[in-house]
Each structure stands twice: as structure tokens, then as C-alpha cells.
Structure 1
Amino acid sequence: MSKPLRIEFSGALYHVTSRGNARGVIYCDDTDRRNYLALLGEVCNDFNWACHAYCLMDNHYHLLVETGDATLSRGMRQLNGVYTQYFNRTHRRVGHLYQGALKRY
């Protein structure tokens, strides 16, 4: 069975969350959190987003993002992909960092 079509709108507000693979840690320390937030800022600029709120927990995050353009999927792929590369390189690990698809509400 195929995935349901995810419709995106410009000017929409999204509550987005993603958890670490096997509920594992995705931020080991404040340096990881700072790097994630710096990357989030770059993604917001590149994809015309406004991040109204965020919460970074050890093994998951929550974002409240307003999209200026219909770019949520592309931006989240960039955010999660680049952060995973940073995390794996920094902590000398390989493989998936996030569990399954991100959730949006």
C-alpha cells in the first residue's frame, strides 16, 4: 500500500516531531544542540520558513514551523539529512539517526 499524499501549503503552520532511532539519543551535549539550531536557522533561511517554537529533548525534537512556500518535506529532508551526517561524523557512528518518517500535525 502506498503512503497517503501529503499536501503542503504556503503560509501553513506545522508541528513537526521526529524521534531517535530505537528511541536513541540524537543530541549528546550542548554542542550538538547548538549545531542543530544553527542548521535549523540555515534551513529556515533557505526554505523561507519561520520557526515559532522548538523543543530539543535528548531523543526527539518538536518544531513549530510556518512555511512561506510549500517546502516542508524538502526542508525537513535537508535538516534531518545534514544533521545526521554531522552527528555520525562527530560521534564516529554510521546508519540512521531518526526512527521512521517525521510526524506532522
Structure 2
Amino acid sequence: MPRQARMKSSTGIYHIMIRGINKEQIFNRVVHKNKIIEIIKNIREDIEFDVIAYCIMDNHIHLLIKADEDKLETLMKKLNIKYAIYYNKIEKRHRKQGRFFLIDKPLKL
């Protein structure tokens, strides 16, 4: 069964969640939380986007991002790959679950 296409935001603001496989903890250490923030900052040097808000839980992260739709996919690919490489090296396991997904509730501004 094919994946559903992501909905385009008319505001360019996206609520994104990334979580571990089977909801396992992939940000359960302070060093992991700091690393994902560092990776996001580094990606901002290459891709134009704004982080409006974020919340890092032990097993997932929420990001509220303002970005052009064409940059969103590249941004998330880089973020997922860079964090997976880091995490796999440190923990010697792969725990990220699939692609990122958007929370489907529209944002009221």
C-alpha cells in the first residue's frame, strides 16, 4: 500500500515528529538531546528554515518548523541521516522509525 502524500502547509509551518522504532528511547541521555540540537544548527548553515519551537522527549522529538516545502524533505533527510549515524555509532543500534511525519492538525495563527 503506497504512502499518503504529505499535505502542503499554506503558512509554510510544519509540526514534525521523529521517534524511535517501537517508540524506543533515542533521546534518553542529555548528550543525545544536545546532539540533535547541534545537528539542527549545523543544517541551518546549508538550508534556510526557522525552528519556531521544539520539545525533545526521551523517545521522540517535536519540531515546529517554518520552511519552504521543497526544502523540508532535504532538511529532514539530513537530520534523520546525521542523527542515525551519530546514534548508531554511540549506541551500536538503529532505533529510528521510518520517515518523519507531520501532525495532521492545521495550525491556527
Please report the TM-score for the alignment, with normalisation by the length of structure 1: 0.84
Match of 2:18 in 1: 18
* 1:31, distance to aligned residue in structure 2 (A): 1.1
Equivalent pairs, count: 103
The match for 1:104 among 86, 102, 105 is: 102
What is the CA deviation profile of residues 24-66 of structure 1, one whole-angstrom value per residue up to 9, with x for unaligned ones?
A: 1111311111111000111223210100100000000100000
For the residues of structure 1 that align with 2:66 and 2:53, how far apart are their CA atoms?
10
Gap runs ≥5 in structure 2: 104-109
RMSD of the alignment, in Å? 2.0
Q: Contact conserved, 1:9 with 1:70, CA < 8 A, in 2? A: no
Specify the SS of the correspondent of 1:3: coil
Give the aligned residue type for 1:40: I
Q: Contact conserved, 2:28 with 2:57, CA < 8 A, in 1? A: no
For the residues of structure 1 that align with 2:10 and 2:83, how far apart are their CA atoms?
25
Match of 1:59 in 2: 59
- Shift >6 Å, 4+ stretches: none
Specify the SS of the correspondent of 1:52: strand
**After superposition, where does 1:67-78 map in structure 2 within 5 Å?**
67-68=67-68, 70-78=70-78
